[in-house]
Amino acid sequence: MTTIGVLALQGAVREHIRSVEASGAKAIEIKRTEQLEHIDGLILPGGESTTMRRLIDSYGFFTALQEFGKKGKPIFGTCAGLILMASKIEGQDHAHLSLMNMKVARNAFGRQVASFEQELAIKHVADDFNAVFIRAPYVVEAGAEVEVLATHQDRIVAAKQGHYLCTAFHPELTDDNRFVEYFVKMVEQSVETLAS
């Protein structure tokens, strides 16, 4: 069975675990870098990106996460996870993991009070996905190699680049597992590709 880890430093870890298991894969909480060797894909959950970066550094995850991606293993970032994956962050001199060629804006849809739900058409996933946005970022610019999967108000809110996937919304906070199932399929395909 495919095993997907959820980086368990901060954020909606339990919800992602539930969603991965509901999508037919095994899910484990990742709290130590050596656990990365035993998983096929990884989710960077929502939370607070600056805090998550500090914890990533404190627990020695920074290089380990980049190396995990370089092996061709899929990584999926939701909300703060999307910010961690970007190569540029508006208003900041330095990005975090720089896995995807895109520039993002933090808290772009407003603060906590500006949280909302929106039905989205998501390429490869669904025409009617109910997306939950909480202090959501969005992608301001995407490189040519980045495939836009969904937009809201002409802003990019879901994207894919090779084996990297990101959303500005929280697919784990609803009972609709179709987006997480899409990531699970990406991981399953990657397992086959890396094995051959």
Structure tokens at 66: 């980049």
Question: Is residue 163 annotated as a catalytic residue, yes or no?
Answer: no
Question: Is residue 16 annotated as a catalytic residue, yes or no?
Answer: no
By DSSP bridging, strand 164-167 and strand 155-161 are antiparallel
Torsion of CA 178, 180, 182, 187, to 10 degrees: -160
Measured between its terminal Cα atoms, the distance across the chain in Å is 17
Using CA atoms, how far apart are residues 196 and 178, in angstroms rounded to an integer?
27
Q: Which of 16, 152, 170, 181 is catalytic?
A: 170
Q: Which of 15, 166, 172, 181 is catalytic?
A: 172
Q: Which of 16, 79, 96, 163 is catalytic?
A: 79
Q: What are phi and psi of 158, to 5 degrees?
A: -150, 135
Question: Is residue 172 annotated as a catalytic residue, yes or no?
Answer: yes
Residue numbers annotated as active site:
79, 170, 172
